Amino acid sequence: MEGEASAQIVSDDYSADEILSAWLRAAEMDLAVAEGAPAGKAVGMKGMTKAIGVGDIENFRVLSSLTTTTTYTTVEGEVRCVGSNVIFYVDPRVSDDLLSDADISGLCNEFDGVAAAEQDMIGDASDLNSDGRIAILMTPQINRLGSMGGGIITGYFWAGDLYEQSSSNPVSNEREIIYTMVPDPSAAYGVAVTKDFTLNNLLPAVLPHELQHAISYNQHVFVKGMPPEQNWLNEGISHLMEDIMGYGQENPSRYALYLANTTYGGVVTMRQPNLYERGASYLFLRYLYEQASSGNGFLKKLVSTNLIGVDNLESAFAGVSGFSRFHEFLARWTAALALTDEGITQDSRYIYGDRVMNSQTGHWEGVCIKCDADDGRGTMLSGVAKSDYSGGASVSIAGSAAKFYSVESVPAQMTIAGTGAAGNFGVLIRVD
């Protein structure tokens, strides 16, 4: 496909998950241009028109390569749960000791509620096959995809499924579908991953994440007739939706990478963001979510729009004078990274709010900068990394990124100078 040529991948920087995402998002850009909205198909969820029962078996085409969207393998999926908003299919190769009826029912019931809440909050997904539900296919083929890149792919959404099968789009299943990995403690299909970690950390987080991608594509391309959202913002919103839905336990390990070296990459990247950059975009959007007069209203405007990128962000936030432009967001946010959890100020403009425990999911919501993340991974957060300042420094900083210094002996004057056309700024925090 033409979209394959536009994906920018630096393999050393990317996990298997990011490599696949790069190809999918790039190919979706081409789909949106070439195909637009399917003719005669409604763009919102509709009532159930097809009877589907537990035990039914269907065949699905699942991607078989990390770097193309035209090769596939066929797998079976057995209906194991039918909810009001979702249908869970499980590959019959997955044994009951790995995914029991109770395990699947628990995931199905949780995500059924999440799917309703997420669509109420940010907009509807499409309904290409008029079944009124999002399909979830749990198959070890996703584990195999991850092993091709030496890692784990938790799941994916691919907008090609929203178009008819054709010679240029042979992998389509012609329905809204999210594909997920399965537990694999014996590494039969790829990297070993325990049942507990899969069910407690990975699967509950990937489902609201990928659903946001499905909703975003529908709202931008089918409803508004515009291109898909830019990758950095699309991924950032998906990671934020994990958090807002009560399943943000995977985010601290991502933004810990960013806090350890904030100069390497920024919030905005024109390529597919890696884990480090996803951590930055999540932190940035979580901060704006808390600063907005209505966080949920801000999110809805971000997704249900004909704008993309920075223009979308500024329009959706619609802030007051002095805090409505991207560079103003960036300046205050970098101060919040330095000030949160330091005990210096309680001014809500310059710190994250306290994170809270979601009583239903048992996971933390929000951000801590210095804490035990309590994320099931053992992530310890020790604050934003600072360098010692001793009279002068020369540093290369990526666009929309920052460098933090600890200044013990304050000179009478400090000058910040940058090269190129980009703007530069500094924030001085005095600690008595």
> Which of 180, 213, 228 is the endpoint of a domain?
228
* Residue 242 maps to a domain: no
Q: pLDDT for 301-330, tens place per residue?
A: 999 999 999 999 999 999 999 999 999 999
Query: Which residue type occupies 220?
Result: H
How far is residue 383's CA from residue 396's CA, in Å, rounded to a whole number? 21
pLDDT recorded at residue 39: 52
pLDDT recorded at residue 93: 97
Nearest to 249 by CA among 80, 87, 362: 362
3-class SS of residue 337: helix
How far is CA 414 from each of CA 263, 337, 389, 392, rounded to the nearest angstrom? 20, 21, 11, 9
pLDDT recorded at residue 262: 94
Nearest to 93 by CA among 69, 64, 61, 57: 57
Residue 161 contacts residue 97 (beta carbons within 8 Å): no
**Domain co-membership, 294 together with 366:** yes
**Domain co-membership, 206 together with 303:** no
Q: Which residues lie below 8 Å from residue 406, measured CB to CB, with a gap of 6+?
A: 386, 387, 388, 389
* Residue 64 maps to a domain: yes
**Domain co-membership, 399 together with 264:** yes
**Domain co-membership, 205 together with 307:** no
Which run of H or of E encompasses 313? Answer: helix 309-317
Q: pLDDT for 12-39, tens place per residue?
A: 445 888 888 888 888 888 888 888 776 5
**Domain co-membership, 89 together with 136:** yes
How far is residue 254's CA from residue 256's CA, in Å, rounded to a whole number? 5
**Domain co-membership, 286 together with 217:** no
* Residue 107 maps to a domain: yes
Boundaries of domain holding 147:
2-228
How far is residue 390's CA from residue 189's CA, in Å, rounded to a whole number? 53
* Residue 194 maps to a domain: yes
How far is residue 219's CA from residue 159's CA, in Å, rounded to a whole number? 12
How far is residue 118's CA from residue 208's CA, in Å, rounded to a whole number? 8
pLDDT recorded at residue 6: 32
Indicate the pairing of strand 86-90 with strand 72-82.
antiparallel
**Domain co-membership, 60 together with 166:** yes
Phi, psi of 86 (to 5 degrees): -140, 155
* Residue 239 maps to a domain: no
3-class SS of residue 57: strand
Number of compact structural domains in the chain = 2
**Domain co-membership, 218 together with 257:** no
3-class SS of residue 180: strand
Residue 403 contacts residue 263 (beta carbons within 8 Å): yes
Which run of H or of E encompasses 135? Answer: strand 134-138
| Stretches in the chain below the pLDDT threshold 70 | 1-14, 38-50, 420-423, 432
How far is residue 373's CA from residue 251's CA, in Å, rounded to a whole number? 9
Please compute, for residue 11, the number of CA atoms within 13 A of its CA located in the half-sphere on the CB side.
6
How far is residue 373's CA from residue 307's CA, in Å, rounded to a whole number? 34
**Domain co-membership, 348 together with 199:** no
pLDDT recorded at residue 12: 41
How far is residue 395's CA from residue 390's CA, in Å, rounded to a whole number? 14
**Domain co-membership, 186 together with 333:** no
**Domain co-membership, 275 together with 388:** yes
**Domain co-membership, 167 together with 274:** no
> Which of 169, 194, 228 is the endpoint of a domain?
228
* Residue 103 maps to a domain: yes
* Residue 233 maps to a domain: no
DSSP string, 79-134: EEEE-SSEEEEE-TTS-TTTS-HHHHHHHHHHHHHHHHHHHHHH-----TTSSSSE
> Which of 228, 260, 279 is the endpoint of a domain?
228
| Residues shown for the chain | 432
* Residue 238 maps to a domain: no
Indicate the pairing of strand 177-180 with strand 155-157.
antiparallel
How far is residue 18's CA from residue 318's CA, in Å, rounded to a whole number? 31
| Terminal-residue alpha carbon distance, the chain | 60
Q: Which residues lie below 8 Å from residue 219, measured CB to CB, with a gap of 6+?
A: 122, 123, 124, 303, 304, 305
Which run of H or of E encompasses 417? Answer: none
* DSSP, res 13: G
Query: Which residue type occupies 347?
Result: D
Bridge partners (DSSP) of residue 178 are: 136, 157
Angle (nearest 5°) at CA 279 between 275 and 283: 170
How far is residue 252's CA from residue 335's CA, in Å, rounded to a whole number? 19
